[in-house]
Structure 1
């Protein structure tokens, strides 16, 4: 059976993952800051790309802040699933901030960075956390959603309290504008107290899990919490297909 929000209703923002939206009664509340916690190989990047493209389909602008991948990798990953964002990028509806490449400008051979854009070149030496803060507080006139890929980089590179302060700013921006933000974090990489701080400060927590069973790998989603909603009390199986992350129609305890 499907597990859906059984409260008073209200507008929901679709995530772009149809099966997940069904489980959530249509999507997530406006202004929600979601922590996506997943181990490597669980499909975290696929979900993030699907979430971003879902925003464009929903007539939202999208900002995608990446400290882990350059723009070319993100576009290539989205192309695989036929989520073409080039037109949206040219129109300014898909705003990509590359906080990855500038970190290596001074160590890579010059011929490898000769074709970087002037915009990215100016980011050399820019503090990544301040760049994130500037991105999330940028004035936007249309409804939008945001992706941060990933918070794990900042947790490795900065003091915890400094990172939490920026996440509080992200959350405040969401509540003020109605924008939904997705923060990606790799599970098992950080101390439990750090993970718990992240789970506490975010409005929603979605965990992607993997388990080996015989010769197969089974994947499941745990909706740990979602502000203002009753979430399923079971894990939900999912698969990754050419359409992206797809939730199975039945749920079971794994």
Structure 2
């Protein structure tokens, strides 16, 4: 266990076992990163986070930069997610939205002002929770790592200062500059244990909060993600 005293307001993720590991949830108003390989449940976990906020009457936004909105809705509804109060902003390549071509041709990094205008037009100034899936597209659209770092910092600051949002960024596994910029990072991994594949969730860092450092097993079920905070991946 990581020592420390929690001094900040926390909000639940919508996954009970993960909230146990987080000692109550995520710190409100900060930026977090969910990393994992294909099929590990990154989008599912982020949708738990948004649906939980919607249940609490919060304004929640899912920004998709890869998968079209209709596919996101179909995939999540098969798992029983009620997305009726989740605003989905489709900025995927097939959406025809001009931001995609703007990003791909933007020579000094992420067009943060365009993002801000889109969010304001759709939901106004009050956004409680936002997910960006995934920041890989933003990284591809930025010429250099230095420009990507500066642009990502501007985007994170806009979401925090302008909208006071709790933000979740989604990324593939691998080291990236975003690892050092976010307030917390959660990894979803597939681990081989005694010759079989086991899904494991690990909290890599969580600034300002105590958390469980042990890799815990999780499953993707017909109700979404279930985390088992009392088990180790080596005990399942």
Give the structure-2-normalised TM-score: 0.82
Conserved? CA contact 1:170–1:181, under 8 Å: no
What whole-Å deviation, never above 9, does each CA across 1:198-243 have from its counterpart, x for those lacking one? Answer: 2111111111111133563201111011120122221111111112
Which residue of 91, 98, 114 corresponds with 1:98?
91
Q: Partner residue of 1:179? A: 165
Quick one: structure 1 residues 249 and 224, their matched pair in 2 at CA, closer, same or farther if it must change by over 3 Å?
closer
Conserved? CA contact 2:188–2:200, under 8 Å: yes
Query: Bigger shift: 130-139 or 19-28?
Result: 130-139
Shift in Å at residue 12 of structure 1?
0.7
Q: Partner residue of 2:197? A: 217
Q: Partner residue of 1:208? A: 188
Show the 5 A alignment for 1:222-241.
Answer: 222-241=202-221
| Aligned-partner Cα distance in 2 for 1:97–1:249 | 34
State the secondary structure of the residue aligned to 1:237. Answer: strand
| Aligned-partner Cα distance in 2 for 1:125–1:8 | 43
| Aligned-partner Cα distance in 2 for 1:173–1:166 | 11
Q: Partner residue of 2:102? A: 126
State the secondary structure of the residue aligned to 2:10. Answer: coil
Quick one: structure 1 residues 20 and 84, their matched pair in 2 at CA, closer, same or farther if it must change by over 3 Å?
same
**Is 1:53 the equivalent of 2:51?**
yes
Conserved? CA contact 2:18–2:229, under 8 Å: no
Shift in Å at residue 46 of structure 1?
1.4
What whole-Å deviation, never above 9, does each CA across 1:175-196 have from its counterpart, x for those lacking one? Answer: 42431111111114xxx4xx2x
Conserved? CA contact 1:20–1:247, under 8 Å: yes
Conserved? CA contact 1:145–1:180, under 8 Å: yes
| Aligned-partner Cα distance in 2 for 1:124–1:39 | 24
Computed over aligned residues only, the root mean square deviation of the Cα atoms, in angstroms, reads 2.6
| Aligned-partner Cα distance in 2 for 1:214–1:202 | 34
| Aligned-partner Cα distance in 2 for 1:5–1:29 | 16
| Aligned-partner Cα distance in 2 for 1:82–1:131 | 35
Which residue of 147, 156, 159 corresponds with 2:131?
147
Consecutive unaligned residues of structure 2, counting only runs of 5 or more, are none
Shift in Å at residue 61 of structure 1?
1.4
Q: Partner residue of 1:13? A: 11
Conserved? CA contact 1:236–1:247, under 8 Å: yes
State the secondary structure of the residue aligned to 1:47. Answer: helix
Quick one: structure 1 residues 227 and 133, their matched pair in 2 at CA, closer, same or farther if it must change by over 3 Å?
farther
Consecutive unaligned residues of structure 1, counting only runs of 5 or more, are 106-119
State the secondary structure of the residue aligned to 1:250. Answer: coil
Conserved? CA contact 1:34–1:183, under 8 Å: yes
Give the structure-1-normalised TM-score: 0.77
Q: Partner residue of 1:245? A: 225
| Aligned-partner Cα distance in 2 for 1:8–1:175 | 20
Count how many residue pairs are aligned between Structure 1 and Structure 2. Answer: 224
Quick one: structure 1 residues 18 and 123, their matched pair in 2 at CA, closer, same or farther if it must change by over 3 Å?
same
